[in-house]
Amino acid sequence: MDTSAMTDDQIVSQIAGLIRKCVPDAQAVAIGMDSRLVEDIGIDSLGAYELIMEAEDLFHIEITDSQVEGIKTIADLIAIVRGPIVQGPNA
């Protein structure tokens, strides 16, 4: 998915769709730029890994392990999605 023409809200909406796959009862959680993955959304370690995998597949990017360590909020993830990227194998 090409995010260059997308607004932040549109990307948040896409990521919210991914979070629904990774977190039980995610429908009940309001997801915004400042939402913290663990504290606000309640994602566990396996769910976080799944979210990264799903985000890589959806946005055709590859997120490095060091980048993964820094993802604490939705905004952190969007910055990686929008930032300089390493093209993944499915690009």
Q: How far is the CB of 20 from other proteins (least distance, A)?
A: 4
Question: What is the number of alpha carbons within 13 Å of residue 15 lying toward its C-beta?
Answer: 32
30: phi > 0 → left, psi -120 to 50 → alpha, else beta; which? beta
Establish if 60 lies at the interface with other proteins (CB under 8 A).
Answer: no
Establish if 1 lies at the interface with other proteins (CB under 8 A).
Answer: no
Phi then psi dihedrals of residue 50, to 5 deg:
-65, -40
* 73: number of Cβ within 10 Å: 18
User: Which region, judged by CB under 8 A, interacts with other proteins, from 5-13, 32-40, 52-60, 71-79?
Assistant: 52-60
User: 4 or 45, CB closer to other proteins?
Assistant: 45
Establish if 90 lies at the interface with other proteins (CB under 8 A).
Answer: yes
40 has catalytic annotation: no
Establish if 49 lies at the interface with other proteins (CB under 8 A).
Answer: yes
Tally of helices (H runs) and strands (E runs) in the chain: 4, 2
Query: Catalytic residues, which ones?
Result: 44
